[in-house]
Amino acid sequence: MTRDGAKKILLLAGSGESRALGQALAWRDDFDVDIRLARQMRGRDFPVPATLGGFGGDEGFRRYLEETQPDAVVDATHPYAEAVSLRTARIAGDLGLPLLHFERPPWEARPGDDWVEIAAPEACSALIPQNACVFLGTGRAGLERFACLEGRRVICRQLDMADGPFPFEGGEFLLSVPPFTAQAEMKLFQRLGVDWLVVKNAGGEGARPKLDAARAMGLPVAMLARPPKAEGVTRVETLEAAMGWAEAL
């Protein structure tokens, strides 16, 4: 039940930033926050109660908004959750709901970094030579789109056991458990004989050590750009800005 005078906010979670925002909103008496997670986040539990599971597609999401009638929606999903973010912007716009996209800033190259930005996984084919050893730090989602890398040794790091075989020839999974350090990443890349890294520009500090290691070793990095964003959506990159937006509702 919504408290008298409290603003009801639907928080679509899935990033480290969503943890902090969910907790900050839940501590306040002037907000009632409804937190939804598409799937369990790795690491510690979400700091406040959250509902796990999707909405059942576009119509399910629209129906949920119509039934629960939040005052606003905050999209704090992963920076590469393109389909979810575009759907949220479209349906919230149709219903006239205020929408905020809260997303950490992308990484920026530092002196000594050798990055090539690519718009799609398929661009790796023309960039990375045959017989190279490629360290794929993009996660399992969309892995089949890197089939263009056949003819190279492709090592895809996973944080838990793979639930099936590698989707194309020449690839292998590597099970590793975070946290990672730059020194440990350098030792790993040396042991594997890595020639190239392919990485999503997720931003944040937790995944940065592999980039620090690549810079120290002079390894080139194919940096997969973030997906296009819906137009007309307010965007912030800090917790303070997100809370300021909510307070101004």
φ/ψ of 217, rounded to 5, equals -95, -5
Please name every residue paired with 74 in a beta bridge, in sequence order, or none if there are none. 11, 100
Largest CA distance in the chain: 64
Residue 3 has a pLDDT of: 66
In the block, tokens 């794929």 appear at: 136
pTM of the predicted model as reported, rounded to 2 decimal places: 0.88
Residue 176 has a pLDDT of: 87
Residue 156 has a pLDDT of: 95
Cα angle 58-99-12, degrees, rounded to a multiple of 5: 60
Residue 42 has a pLDDT of: 57
Residue 204 has a pLDDT of: 87
Ordered structural domains, the chain, with CATH? 7-105+229-247 (3.40.50.2000), 115-224 (3.40.50.720)
Instruction: Tokens for 163, please give them.
Output: 């639930």
User: Peptide bond preceding 178: is omega within 30 degrees of 0, i.e. cis?
Assistant: no
> What residue type is 52 in one-letter code?
L
Q: Encode pLDDT of 58-75 as tens digits.
A: 999 999 999 999 999 999
Rounded distance between C-alpha atoms, residue 33 and residue 243, angstroms: 12
Residue 178 has a pLDDT of: 81
Q: Encode pLDDT of 184-222 as tens digits.
A: 999 999 999 999 999 999 998 888 999 999 999 999 999
> Are the CB atoms for 218 and 197 separated by under 8 Å?
no
Per-10-residue mean pLDDT, the chain, length 249: 80 91 94 88 71 92 97 95 94 97 95 97 96 93 92 91 86 89 97 97 90 98 94 95 96
CA-only gyration radius of the chain, Å: 20
